[in-house]
Structure 1
């Protein structure tokens, strides 16, 4: 996390947030205030191309900025998931946790959420 700055919003202190120019933002929501990391949210905030080079990637090379087609080819077991507000893709790991991929309107991976469920929350500060 060298070089990242704390960008936690005063209005939602339960979401530890970090940012660094040229990198996706990293959020660690803790709405129950347990102090445990229950999910890791990596986001592009609408600029996937601007942060793609510095995105974490799956073992198959998928990160922020990958195309939807690249995701489907690299991870043939990824499943489409229909959420309450949006759809996303989810891939369950050998440990039972999920890697969830949000897709922007222009067909790029713009969010990666690692957690114990196949879900991407519609809002983290609400």
Structure 2
């Protein structure tokens, strides 16, 4: 992570963001200011294909830029959920943790959120 730029915005100091050109950004929100990582958000603003080659992947090979069809094939138990602005997709592991995926209008994964619940926040700085 030392090659990433670490930023905190004045408007939302509870989010630490790590950015690097050509890579998805990594956000670690800490709304309770506990210092405990409760979720990790991997995302790309704009075109997911711009960072797909450098995206971390799940154990089944899903990263930013994967197609919805590939996501469904990788996770047969994937459930579609309704978010505030758009649907998202969730799958749990044997330990009750969740991987949540958002998909853009072009059918590509544009965010991956790992947390203890089947949720994707509609805003992190709102």
- Give unmatched runs, 5+ long, in structure 2: none
- Corresponding position of 1:75: 75
Distance in 1 between the 2:8 and 2:24 partners?
15
Distance in 2 between the 1:65 and 1:87 partners?
17
TM-score between the two structures when normalised by the length of structure 2: 0.96
Runs (4 or more) in structure 1 with deviation over 3 Å come to none
SS at match of 1:91: strand
- Corresponding position of 2:48: 48
Does the CA-based 8 Å contact 1:46-1:104 persist in structure 2? no
- Structure 1 residue 10: Cα displacement: 1.6
Say if 2:5 is the partner of 1:5. Answer: yes
Distance in 2 between the 1:28 and 1:21 partners?
18
Superposition CA RMSD, Å: 0.9
Distance in 2 between the 1:123 and 1:103 partners?
16
- Give unmatched runs, 5+ long, in structure 1: none
- Structure 1 residue 7: Cα displacement: 2.2
Count of residues paired in the alignment: 126
- Corresponding position of 1:119: 119
SS at match of 1:13: strand
Distance in 2 between the 1:58 and 1:39 partners?
15
- Structure 1 residue 8: Cα displacement: 1.7
